[in-house]
Amino acid sequence: MPACVHCGKPAVVALDYANIDLCGLCFTCLFERRVWKANREFKLFKRGDRVVVGVSGGKDSSAMLFVLSKMAGQIGFEILPVLVDEGIEGYRNKAIPLAEQLCERLGLQLKIHSYKQAVGKSMDEIVQLRDAGKIRGKSCSFCGVLRRRALDNAAVELKATKIAVGHNADDVAQTFLMNLLRGEPQRNERFGVTSMHEQSTDFGGVVPRIRPLVFNTEKEAAEYCLVNDLPFYLGDCPYAVEAFRGEVKDFLNNVEEKYPGTKFNLLHSFLKEKGGQASPAKEKAVVLKCAKCNSPASGELCKACEIAELLKA
């Protein structure tokens, strides 16, 4: 068994891209230092913040919630865990009890918002309508919009100042590459580690999103949960096979295996190019108000309201 490069104890985590092995404690310290680094570089949290933490019962959100629960007392911000229940049988219903278990362990009250409550249909029902030819679109297109709306609604209801999401280094690298492969590099201008600026009204008044796990990989989030005995659900969404992201994820995983460090190279290229923040000038130029809910929109209605109207038809 290899020894930890720092303390000499038996190692449990191997970081191939850095060619080092770490024991559980040293790996935990590294993982958490990276979250603190994200906070320093992007000014994610400040004293008095009310932070909605998007949890799912999965590895990324469980790791994020656990780290932020430690940081909250030191910085002085409040954690408000929110789970979005899409209504996917055999998937989300298995993850919810694990999210509740972690919140109970941390002394936090979990709030659940569902698609059924928001638009009258669960994700399973939306896919059934799609498969019957009554509506058109990929499941992930519907789900992404409705998930974002649910978190936005929760943040407004709870008077939150920020929304923390569990996007890790893999997610950022995937999004960066996907936008390039689609021939839509302008989308990278609207994506960042944080959408937070001095004048958040440039984004239509929505609660800014932050990504505290940006310097940690997906695999490391799972290892952090295992090392710290955190409950999490490891199953995949049954509709993920329809997503372009899945193809890009598999591609990057294969390249990372052959050339360790590829994901971090993409991440740092993205951060170097735009500083990790969404571009306020370009966002401001395209932001309109939804005629129905007054949220940011690119047309008369925002995407969430378009879907809600579609499901009524």
pLDDT tens for 119-166 read 899 999 999 999 999 889 889 989 999 999 999 999 999 999 999 999
For range 225-246, the mean pLDDT: 93
Domain boundaries, the chain: 43-312
Q: What is the DSSP letter of 261?
A: T
The residues that bridge with 54 in the sheet, in sequence order, are: 82
Distance CA 5, CA 2 (A): 9
Does residue 81 sit in helix, strand or coil? Answer: strand
Pair type for strands 13-15 and 20-22 = antiparallel
What integer pLDDT is reported at residue 286 of this predicted model? 52
Residue whose pair of structure tokens reads 């909250």 in the numeric block: 72
Distance CA 129, CA 121 (A): 10
Distance CA 160, CA 162 (A): 6
pLDDT tens for 297-306 read 878 888 888 8
pLDDT tens for 29-70 read 999 999 999 999 999 999 999 999 999 999 999 999 999 999
The first and second tokens of residue 277, run together, are: 């923040």
pLDDT tens for 259-298 read 999 999 999 999 886 656 655 544 444 557 888 888 878 7
Q: Domain 43-312 has what CATH class?
A: alpha beta
- Which amino acid belongs to residue 146? L
What pTM was computed for the model?
0.90
